[in-house]
Amino acid sequence: MRHFLYSLWALALFFGAMYLVWAYLLPFVLPFGLGVFLALIIDPAVDIMEHRWKIPRGLAVWTTLTALMIILGLLVIGIVGVVRIELEGIIASMPGYSERAQNTLLALGQSLGALRAQLPDGVQLALNEQVDAFYRGVNVWAGEILGAITALSALPGVLINLIITVVATFFFSRDKRVIGRFILSLLPPDWQGRVNSAKAEVFLAAIGVVKAQLSIMFVSTLLTVIFLNLFGSRYALTAGLLVGALDVLPVLGPGMVFLPWGLGEILAGDRFFGIWLLVFYAALTAVRQVIEPKLVGDRIGLHPLATLLALYLGLLIFGASGVVYGPLTVIILKAVVRSGLIPLFSYKRGAS
């Protein structure tokens, strides 16, 4: 009974600590958290340069990090340039879309003459006003994004956070052994081995789950860009990136792009393209629901049902960010249970 009560107390303390970390602590240490993540990403390349090529670790970290920043910088510059052009095209095309949508509604009203005769005189005017408001909203939204892209480089906060993240990555990667020994030295001796074991499992699985989420977002972006290019859309890259970014919100995210876009195209008179947008959205949602639990579960060593539960609870508690926080919490819980820090139940190493 005493063992059971201790396990419940430890479990409650664990979930309370995780909630405080995700909800309150993480925003204050986000650049350092990103630094740890980037350090883990570049660590294999740094280890190869250090051990196989006999390059000093500091120089290996600097070289790898510089190469990564150059590649990411060129990629971002190229993408931002294309997105800016496409957003300018969206803004320019809004008046035409609005006019065509009003004509479609007018034609629909004329074809339903008997029904239209029974409606109040102001219904058609109200419909036209709503269509105008929708397309004005899209126009404003595109303009805001375009303005944000233009002003992003001028934001000192972004630049400061970027510098802190890069510097933190350098030191975390270069001094990882010293930092690890220092943190372990703060713990009781009988905890050090368990924490060291849990740390290795958590880091590997955490990298796995983040890679899995990025893979899902990449698949959504790639499929969207391919689909839109097949239909000759001028906004394929912008829409694909937006779908990929919103894909952190399962089901709802891509729908925030495809549902209004598809209905807008139908109202604007292009029923064929509008219907295909809605069909593609349904297919993309089905693909995501199939691959997400399996892909994330494989990365963290959990059954897809357990992964799905972690994703659902994470979304319920933390919102969109819970897609990452939920699985990470399960990763950490599994690691501390396996290490014996929380003797919740008899756990055999290698079990899922």
- Contact in structure between 143 and 149 (CB atoms under 8 Å): no
Q: What's the pTM?
A: 0.61
Q: Which regions of the chain are under pLDDT 70?
A: 1-4, 6, 90-158, 200-201, 248-252, 297-304, 339-352
In angstroms, the CA 120 to CA 109 distance is 12
Looking at residue 352, what is its pLDDT? Answer: 43
Structure tokens belonging to residue 136:
């004005």
- Contact in structure between 207 and 99 (CB atoms under 8 Å): no
Burial 314-338 (b: 16+ CB within 10 A, else e): bbeebeeebbbbbbbbbbbbbbbbb
Looking at residue 349, what is its pLDDT? Answer: 45
- Contact in structure between 236 and 82 (CB atoms under 8 Å): no
Looking at residue 192, what is its pLDDT? Answer: 73
In angstroms, the CA 96 to CA 234 distance is 15
- Contact in structure between 91 and 143 (CB atoms under 8 Å): yes
Residue holding tokens 């089905």?
A: 286
